[in-house]
Amino acid sequence: MKLVRRIAAAGCTLALALGGAVALAPAASATPQGCFYYVLENKPDADTQIAEDACQIGAAGGQAAFQQCYHLLRDDYVPAVIAATACRKAAQE
């Protein structure tokens, strides 16, 4: 009977560990680099220096950083939805 409990406990522990790894996976791509590549994938003709600067500013997090990031990208004619999503990606850890 003890063996069955140990196997069940090991199985539950493994499931929890794998579930945690899956839950963290989306956050791994949420960085200033993720923001930068998101902009370039969705608007290839965007100015790379402006996109990089905007994503670095957005990485600080907070409303002011988001707005600065967003406005820099919009000034480069990046569509609003792409700019907003990219700036959110930059701020996530």
Percent of the chain at pLDDT above 70?
A: 67
pLDDT value at 69 more than 80: yes
Structure tokens at 3: 């063996």
Q: Taking Cα atoms as reference points, which of 41, 68, 40, 44 lies closest to residue 56? A: 68
Would the pLDDT of 26 be above 60? Answer: no
pLDDT tens digits, one per residue of 30-59: 589 999 999 999 999 999 999 999 999 999
Start-to-end CA distance of the chain, whole Å, equals 44
Nearest to 91 by CA among 48, 42, 38: 38
User: pTM of this prediction?
Assistant: 0.66
Residue 24 reports pLDDT greater than 50: no
